[in-house]
Structure 1
């Protein structure tokens, strides 16, 4: 066991969901060890009743993620924690489930989720099996470099009984099978394509559905740390190969997961991309209309306003939060939440962990098709007939954080009274600036919590109106 007495002074900040940085630039073994030591010190000083001095640690398929995870494990072991370390790349929700079900005080997931391949990250999970809240993340930041980093070689930790390697995926698979009518799925004979985007979900749906009559075709399951040249994010611009495949070989549905499998995207069986907003609305429809469930709906303010209309029609309480599942998680812990959802494809389900789970959400969407016998297109048209068309667009612009801050401050202090030709009815400023017109269209600008990027979001009844709103947002950026 060793201790370092001269920690780096490089600043480390937690963003929307943990700490992320470019590999070998900010995300180094030294910095991973610093953050692990801070988390160990924090959890030591803040014990949770009924929880053991134990952590679960997992990792995705990014470059050296397994080595970074082992580094964190060595730090926790040296600080007298019991460590459960996954031996293979593992979906984030499987780690969160293990934290909750194995009496851990917390957990760590080495992943940068959907970020470009050069990034990696350190996600903190709390004892309840979800993302640590902002207060916990800020508290861990304050513990950085309070004490020297201690590390115990993995082999020594294992010999002393402090480190156990355990595959967490089977327990997760058992848990999410219980969330759906598996007898119905087993006899449905659905044809499912699954695009893992080279991430930790590779092969997951083949395993989940192996004893059913569903036929699963898996795409992009190879371990490629460059993710085929894409960012492993379940959004239409990354669906090109899947679209081409489905046009040649139609299926009933294609599910897409991000790099650590906590988010979900989808295409219909013939290669037409669904937005994450459509995926969320389909799942909400199924949970309430087909299963008859009720409860609060919690959504981030960048998610489609169709959810608002659905909740109003069905008498479901709706709560809107800032961007990031760390704001949804506390509401799920309180209970009585029917659905928690965010624009980026993060979906939390009742009766499960207070965490987004792209595999669980995918099974629920598949259950919807099995229950109704309808195609994705038929179901979406049914929703639009009732709640109106909702078209959405997002543009990410690389912009220094100081310029983003000036732009948002200007919009807060001098908000427009019209969105194009339409009067503004409301402005929300609790996470970025969201400007809502009285016809329901909206435009929102906010800075990314993980990158020097300005995100511009828009929703309206037509594609042309969405494009016009996005252009308006871009024009505003040139004013600062």
Structure 2
């Protein structure tokens, strides 16, 4: 197989004495027996996406390993000293259940310590939202968490947080990436000063649990809490270290844990994918719920920032809520509580993202408070909190099963969101309803919104090229109609333009650029195309709407979704 000379040049750098013998031997085996794997390992450098840097573990520039993460950490160390020249910077580090996470966290800690940076390192796995909390709690300038969220077992990743507790956003992201890219591997300092590495555990755990219980509780009476039957699964991830504890602190006594999935395990042996967006991931929890007559099922992803929720529908059958539905319920519930406590005065806002349901804005408008919309990823919601300190942040979410309650954590947080979901369910049960009937009531008030997501996997270099071609075709040959409804507006976030087809005008989008294209049709449908920033996928998001009192609204909208899928030819 022919290998590009530029790739061979990259390979040869990794065969120099700076790199350890095990790395060099592995590369030689790839050269001899797997040239295609060699090319995929070296054809590019891993990049930061919507959720930090994620990739397959292995050797090479396009893999997660001690050298690529060491280079990241050395670049961040250099940047920290430039930004905080008159103090010793402090960094908090956490990691999840994935293979090599603990060892890679030690490497990252060593590099920081070698650069005279104080390191606070969790001695065992912890939820990602606890890292965000720890950054502010310990007055750190930066935070790192080793995680690949819900990606397959062969992946790991590296998320970077700044001193406000939120993930990197402009201008820090571009400045840090430039610092990292300018570094040769040989400048990484791997031998750290052990005196600068301090283990953190109980003190931060207790503070985070207390804050989560406070921020996720909403005056549910004790008897309602005790009457709610909860089934919880951590899907072999980090949430087992915190969610049961927080639920107990909040007064929930009937919590059944899926024991087969309670042990942290980077192989995720009982699921095809540890992603609560996938219905199959909750299968064991749903079976336990039926056995025990539970009211609600909650499952979280490996690093505990996303949650899936299932509740009983109007026929008593367990039904999984999608991320948009959960977000709508949480937002409406929070605003209702704020209003009943006379805390709403038009100085508040809720937030979501451009590919999520428009229903959140409809609800915000009804409560007469602000609504802000950003690119995909909670770093943009955290940035809103930072950019508008004069406003109170109530809550925010996105379609990918994440929610953020208040701003004590500046990232999606399945710990507090799990408690919030239980508070909602307990209060609904006390009134004789469920979260399903609550959602039905909201649809009766605001109209029915229905969303669907299709993810098309395209792995490796070839897959990346195919995704780029698909996006290019969607831009150069735009649809004029979708599923029989005329396209009336096209938003292109790569060029920051919005084109109104009806009056042939083009305006500028006031939002950072991103590789996202959104079509709006005459019947109120919204279709977005977006390459994933963390996985080898292109995603198509669909949202359709039916006005209040539309007969058989759900069935009508399901047919519309299916027509759109057929039109896109990716169903």
- Partner of 1:125, secondary structure, is strand
Measure how far apart 1:183 and its partner are. Answer: 6.1
CA distance in 2, matches of 1:151, 1:185: 53
Q: Deviations over 1:33-66 (max 9, x none)?
A: 11111111111111288x7511000000000111
SS in 2 for 1:239: helix
Partner residue in 2 for 1:421 = 484
1:273-307 CA-to-partner distances (Å, cap 9, x unmatched) read 11011110110111112332542222111111221
SS in 2 for 1:260: coil
The alignment yields a C-alpha RMSD, in angstroms, of 2.3
* Greater shift in the superposed pair: 431-440 or 32-41: 431-440
Alignment match, 2:295? 252
Measured in 1, the distance between the counterparts of 2:323 and 2:113 equals 40
Q: 1:213 to 1:304 in 2, by over 3 A?
A: closer
Matches within 5 A, 1:322-401: 322-333=375-386, 334-335=388-389, 336=391, 337-372=393-428, 373=430, 374-399=433-458, 400-401=463-464
Change (3 A) 1:434 1:447: same
Matched, 1:180 2:239: no
Structure 2 Cα separation of the partners of residues 305 and 271 of structure 1? 26
Structure scoring higher RCO (CA < 8 A, sep ≥ 6) equals 1
- The residue that corresponds to 2:275 in the other structure is 233
The match for 1:19 is 53
User: Would you say 1:76 and 2:76 are equivalent positions?
Assistant: no
239 and 464 in structure 1: CA distance in 2 versus 1, 3 angstrom threshold: farther
Change (3 A) 1:225 1:171: same
Judge which range, 34-43 or 53-62, deviates more: 34-43
Match 1:32 to one of 69, 74, 79 = 69
What's the offset of the Cα at 1:388? 2.0
Matches of 1:173 and 1:125, distance apart in 2:
20
Distance in 1 of aligned mates of 2:539 and 2:532: 7
Residue of 357, 360, 369 corresponding to 1:316: 369
Pair 6,230 (structure 1): closer, same or farther in 2 beyond 3 Å: same
> Who is 1:119 aligned against?
155
Tell me the distance in 1 between the aligned counterparts of 2:171 and 2:308: 30
Contact 1:304 1:390 survives alignment (8 Å): yes
CA 1:180/1:453 → structure 2, altered by over 3 Å: closer, same or farther? closer
1:463 is aligned to 2:501: no
Deviates more, 1:206-215 or 1:25-34: 206-215
Do 2:213 and 2:247's aligned partners in 1 also have CA atoms closer than 8 Å? Answer: no
Query: Alpha-carbon deviation of 1:237?
Result: 3.8
Residues 238-268 of structure 1, C-alpha deviation per residue, up to 9 Å, x if partnerless? 2222222222222121122111111222111
State which structure, 1 or 2, has the greater radius of gyration over its C-alpha atoms.
Answer: 2
What are the Cα deviations for residues 83-111 of structure 1, in whole angstroms up to 9, with x where unaligned?
11101110011111111111111010000
TM-score, normalised to structure 1, is: 0.91
Whole-angstrom distance in 1 between the partners of 2:542 and 2:480? 17
Q: 1:299 to 1:48 in 2, by over 3 A?
A: farther
Query: Paired residue for 1:90?
Result: 126
Cα distance 1:291–1:193, how it changes in 2: closer, same or farther (>3 A)? farther
Tell me: CA distance 1:423–1:66, structure 2 relative to 1, closer, same or farther (3 Å): same
Query: Whole-Å Cα distance in 2 between the matches of residues 152 and 185 of structure 1?
Result: 54
Q: Decide which of 181, 188, 197 is 1:163's aligned counterpart.
A: 197
> Residue 437 of structure 1: CA displacement?
1.6
One of 188, 191, 197 as aligned partner of 1:152: 191
Shift of 1:6: 4.7
Label 1:6 to 1:93 Cα distance change in 2 as closer, same or farther (>3 A).
same
Q: CA deviation at 1:377?
A: 1.6
CA distance in 2, matches of 1:410, 1:360: 42
Q: Does the CA contact (< 8 Å) of 2:232 and 2:299 recur in 1?
A: yes
For residues 398-447 of structure 1, the C-alpha deviation after alignment (integer angstroms, 9 at most, x for no partner) is 23223322322332343222222112232222141111222222221111
Provide the secondary structure at the position in 2 that maps to 1:323: coil
Alpha-carbon deviations, 1:185-244, whole Å to 9, x = none? 644212211121111101533211325243111122112211124322221242222222
Tell me which residue corresponds to 1:215: 254
CA distance in 2, matches of 1:203, 1:35: 28
Structure 2 CA distance for aligned equivalents of residues 398 and 222 of structure 1: 29
**Unpaired runs of 5+ in structure 2?**
1-15, 24-41, 494-513, 546-556
In 2, the alpha carbon distance for the partners of 1:402 and 1:185 equals 55
Partner Cα distance (2:219, 2:527) in 1 = 44
Q: Which residue of 2 aligns with 1:443?
A: 527
What is the number of equivalent residue pairs in this alignment? 467
Paired with 1:364 and 1:140, the residues of 2 have a C-alpha distance of: 36
- The answer to whether the 8 Å contact 1:97/1:129 transfers is yes
Could you give the per-residue CA deviations for residues 4-50 of structure 1, whole angstroms, max 9, x where no partner exists?
9957986231111211110124111222211111111111111288x
* 2:511 aligned residue: none
Verify: 1:59 aligned to 2:95, yes or no.
yes
